[in-house]
Amino acid sequence: MEMNLAELITNKCEELLNKRDGLIMGQCLSAVGWVGGTVPKLPNHKGIVELSMADVAGGAIAVGAALNGIKPVVYVVRYQGFLWYNAISIVNYAAKSHELFGIQCPLLVRAIAMEGGIGPVAGGSHHSMFMRMPGVNLAAPMTPNEWSEIWDFHFTNPNPTIISEHRKSYSISSDFPDNHISDPEVSMLAISAGRISADQAFRELRDSGVNADLYHLFWLSPLIFPDGFFDSLRKSKLCVVVDSDYGYGGLAETLAVQILKVVPDARIKVMGLARKSAGFSPQTDNLTPSSTEIREEVMGMLSERSNEVYE
């Protein structure tokens, strides 16, 4: 039976603790649920370090432990919105240490996104904030194979690695299937929890007769576009980029610029979190675009192109 992502992360972390004498650091690691079942249930283990509830100290402590170089260190940020507090030492010291001083900082950060009733501070994905920083490996895996690839890469690289996880991924046990066609009408590119919505929209579009292509992106820095994406876009000329971070000024808009450098005559729509703060109720929440919203955006783009043809 295949492991889901939560089980894989737990196994990798238990191996780090028991076979590599590593450290897992963070707030409330052993609280109810053990961080969504992704921290080994090993009460009083010497390698599980419960940090204080201070807003900014945890990141600095984890960076200091990693700079020591004796033990591999995993730093768990339970709510990705807290990266705005926790990232100070990561981006201003850990990310620059190897380039400036030749000192490796092998810190792996597990930043976990949640959404839905979580409020304006803790909720949402925030991987865009790291895209502009040199010296940081950044990825947003959604499957066990993707997460394992990043984990293995990290231990051969001198720079810190930030894994943008999403709680919606923890039950996933297999890769998203590639199901591309030779004559696409639209090419979709999806990141993080946007991949779940985009996968559903993709199936609905295909069922309704729309020749849609869907590509999944998880390597953000270094930025590695999926194989075949640009070939698809050169044919379709229409692209929808879906992310679970903010659309305005975020990763999705950065990707749009990079895509236009390769396919300058493409038309691109960016979808992400709305430009507003999330509340705690369904009426005030701010969520990853739904499959319905993605499907309607695609149909709108196709309708606009059809109208241009007949004008």
Cα gap 115→113, rounded to integer Å = 7
257 half-sphere exposure, CB direction, 13 A CA radius: 8
Its CATH class, for the domain covering 186-310, is alpha beta
Across 71-229, where does the E strand assignment appear? 73-77, 107-113, 137-139, 161-166, 186-191, 212-217, 219-221
Average pLDDT over residues 104-114: 95
Domain boundaries, the chain: 5-169, 186-310
Q: Does residue 68 register a pLDDT over 90?
A: no
Cα gap 73→67, rounded to integer Å = 9
pLDDT at 69: 82
Q: How many residues does the chain have?
A: 311
Q: Does residue 32 register a pLDDT over 90?
A: no
- Give helix then strand counts, H and E, for the chain: 13, 11
Do 5-169 and 186-310 share a fold?
yes
- What backbone phi and psi angles, to 5 degrees, belong to 201? -60, -40
Residue 35's nearest CA partner among 98, 91, 77, 85 is: 77
pLDDT at 56: 86
Grade residue 154 by pLDDT with cuts at 50, 70 and 90.
Answer: very high
Percentage of residues of the chain with pLDDT beyond 70: 99
pLDDT at 106: 86
Q: Which CATH architecture has domain 5-169?
A: 3-Layer(aba) Sandwich (3.40)
- What is the tens place of the pLDDT at every residue in 241-273? 999 999 999 999 999 999 999 999 999 999 999
Burial of 138 (0-12, 13-18, 19+ CB in 10 A): buried
Q: Does residue 310 register a pLDDT over 70?
A: no
pLDDT at 62: 95
Residue 209's nearest CA partner among 181, 230, 168 is: 181
